[in-house]
Amino acid sequence: MAITLNENEFVTIQKLIFQEVGIDLQSSKRLLVQSRLLKRLLYYKFDNYLDYIRLIQVKNTEKIEMINLITTNETYFFREIDHFEFLQKQIIPNHPFKKKFRFWSAAASVGAEAYSIAMLLDRSMAKGDWEVVGTDINTEVIKKARIGLYPEKWADKIPIELKKEYCLKGRGRHEGQFLMDRSLVENMDFTVGNLMKYNSEVGKFDVIWLRNVLIYFDDATKQLVVDNVMRNLHVGGYFFISLTENLNMLNTASLESVATSVYRKIK
């Protein structure tokens, strides 16, 4: 018999997700939430979602598991290629190499964006001149990002010369997968981070990408998240959002638009 997530149970989960990570789950997502959490009900042998809701309110590890299941989003290498071209042509050539170039993938998921950037930086700079930090609220995707092992089909969008240099073809039990070259990992750090809070531990950056995440927030939460992230960006640094997103209705007095979905911090 199918287990249905009723309206009241969904509203409770909506409130929990908003409180924890700021994501505004729309009513249209009820079936998605139902399907993603079903495996946890079966694991605990629950026959209703109310018992599961009671569990996550008292068991923090299960609450984290619930957040992980609901916040897993699509990602792939070199997504929105225009941004990578802007980085290569406008930002990297003009960076003063007297200091380390620091890049933050603020919604890193399983690390495809961060590794895409790392390949470009490693090609353009000396080993000690760059660092890429990736953060995400989802603890499971951060574990995967640290490993850097991906399905072979994910390499389709990686430029051929970068694929040859940095993507190690899997063999044996890793047949059909590829591993990111360990030389990149030396200059990278993946850690769990909640955008609802200012992250003082990651430090300041020259470039921050916060792409394909603002669409999940209401305007007030967008403002909070952008304000938090801006505190980590050097004046003169660059801030990227997705080509499908905008900062309309937000206070962006500290930013100037320099290209589509690309901003520069001016104060």
- CA 168 – CA 49 distance, rounded (Å): 43
Catalytic residue among 36, 79, 146, 264: 36
The whole-number pLDDT of residue 1 equals: 56
Q: Which of 30, 102, 122, 136 is catalytic?
A: 136
Question: Do 181 and 243 belong to one domain?
Answer: yes
Residues 64 and 86 in one domain: no
Q: Is residue 76 part of a domain?
A: no
pLDDT at 150: 96
Count structural domains, the chain.
2
Single residue among 70, 96, 123 that ends a domain in this structure:
70
What pLDDT, on the 0 to 100 scale, is given for residue 96?
Answer: 76
Residues 45 and 170 grouped into a single domain: no
Q: Which amino acid is at 22?
A: G
**In this structure, are 116 and 184 located in the same domain?**
yes
Residues 12 and 142 occupy one common structural domain? no
Q: How high is the pLDDT of residue 99?
A: 85
Do 52 and 117 reside in the same domain of the chain? no
pTM, rounded to two decimals? 0.89
82 catalytic per annotation: no
The string of pLDDT tens digits covering residues 9-41 is 999 999 999 999 999 899 999 999 999 999 999
- 216 and 109 share a domain? yes
248 with 151, same domain: the answer is: yes
Residues 102, 42 share a domain: no
Which residues contact residue 173 at a Cβ distance below 8 angstroms, ignoring those fewer than 6 apart?
none
Q: Which of 29, 74, 40, 67 is nearest to 195 (CA)?
A: 67
pLDDT digits (tens, 9 = 90+) for 91-136: 999 987 678 999 999 999 999 999 999 999 999 999 889 999 999 9
Q: Could you say which residues of the chain have pLDDT below 50?
A: none
Q: Is 136 a catalytic residue?
A: yes
Q: What is the span of the domain harbouring residue 63?
A: 7-70
